[in-house]
Homo-oligomer: A and B are copies of this chain.
Amino acid sequence: MEAKQVMVKSVLDAWNARMEAANKLLDSFSDDDLLKEVAPGRNRGIYLVGHLALVHDRMLPLLNLEEQTYAHLEDTFLNKPDKSVSDMPSVKEVRAIWKEVNEKLAKHFASLSTDEWFQKHSAVSAEDFMKEPHRNRLNVVIGRTNHMQYHIGQVALIKK
């Protein structure tokens, strides 16, 4: 196995393992649990799951895979803090969005070739990518796995 393949495996194995653990955690909570704050005065579970789903939805165009689907929910889950919007989707809807977005990513991830993982993402220019070749698709997945972990560690604090 060449170095490129080895690295793609490391990064995708980490993403997949953390995603599996996140799904197991979320499945262990009732819908009512996810309406609780992770700590007094902090974000609710539903907000953090929606926030992660929206960030993952944005990975689709960032990785040049397809258009994002849920731009209309960016105010709710990205631009505005929790408990500041009145028209938040239900927990069931947020669970469905989370599942759908991650399944789209999984399908694309499985189809990319090793070399395609080392291609630039859409937020870096061709010129900058010549100078900074680490700004590739794989780097995005490393960053987003870290981001998911940060918030899933918080969701794990919700009392059942």
Chain A: residues with CB nearer than 8 A to chain B? 1, 3-4, 6-7, 9-11, 13-14, 18, 38-42, 118, 133-134, 136, 138-139, 142-143, 145-147, 149-154, 156-157, 159
Contacts and interface: CB of A to CB of B under 8 A. Distances in A.
Given A10-B139, A10-B142, A146-B146, 17 more contacts: A3-B7, A3-B118, A7-B7, A7-B138, A10-B136, A10-B138, A11-B142, A14-B142, A14-B143, A14-B146, A39-B39, A40-B159, A41-B159, A149-B153, A150-B152, A150-B156, A154-B154
Contacts of A153: 149-154
A96 to B, nearest CB: 24
A40 B157 CA distance: 9
